[in-house]
Amino acid sequence: MLWVKAFHIISAIAWMAGLLYLPRLFVYHCSAELKSVQSETFKVMERRLYNAIMIPAMFGTWFLGIILVTSLGVWHELWMMLKICLLIGLTIVQFVLGEHRKRFECDQNTRTAKYYRVVNEIPTVLMIGIILLAVLRPV
C-alpha cells in the first residue's frame, strides 16, 4: 500500500503543479498579440501541459486515491467526505481551465489577465483544505 500512497502523492503534486501553472500561462497569454509567434507558443505549452500532464495526473490522483480510501475503509468518515468535496472542486477547476484553454486555442479568449490571476488562487485554497483534512482528520 505504500507504493500506492507514494504514487498517489506524486500524481497529486503533478496535478497541482498544472493547476497552478496553467492559469499563470493564461495571464501571460492575454498580453500576447493574436496569431503572433508568442501566442502560438503559449497555445502549444498550454495544450501539452493540459493533455500530457494535468489529465493523466488528475486521473492518477483519483484512481490511486480511491484504492487508498477503499483499503483504509474511511469512506464514511466526515473528514474524507469533506476532502472528496474539495477534490470535486479541484476537478471542476480543471475542466473550467480546459474550456479556457480551448478558447485561447481558437483565439476567442474574452477574459482579462486579472481574471486569470484570481482563478490562479482557487486551486491553492482547495489544496490547503485538502491537505489539512488529510493530515489532521479534524472531524
Residue 52, C-alpha cell as written in the block: 500530457
Residue 62: helix, strand or coil by DSSP?
helix
How many beta carbons lie within 10 A of that of residue 107, not counting itself? Answer: 10
CB 132 within 8 A of CB 72: no
Region for 35 from its dihedrals, namely left if φ exceeds 0, alpha if ψ lies in -120 to 50, beta otherwise: left
Per-residue pLDDT reduced to its tens digit, 9-49? 999 999 999 999 999 999 999 999 999 999 999 999 999 99
Per-residue pLDDT reduced to its tens digit, 73-83? 999 999 999 99
Instruction: Report the Cα 66 to chain-centroid distance in Å.
Output: 17
Q: pTM for the complete prediction?
A: 0.94
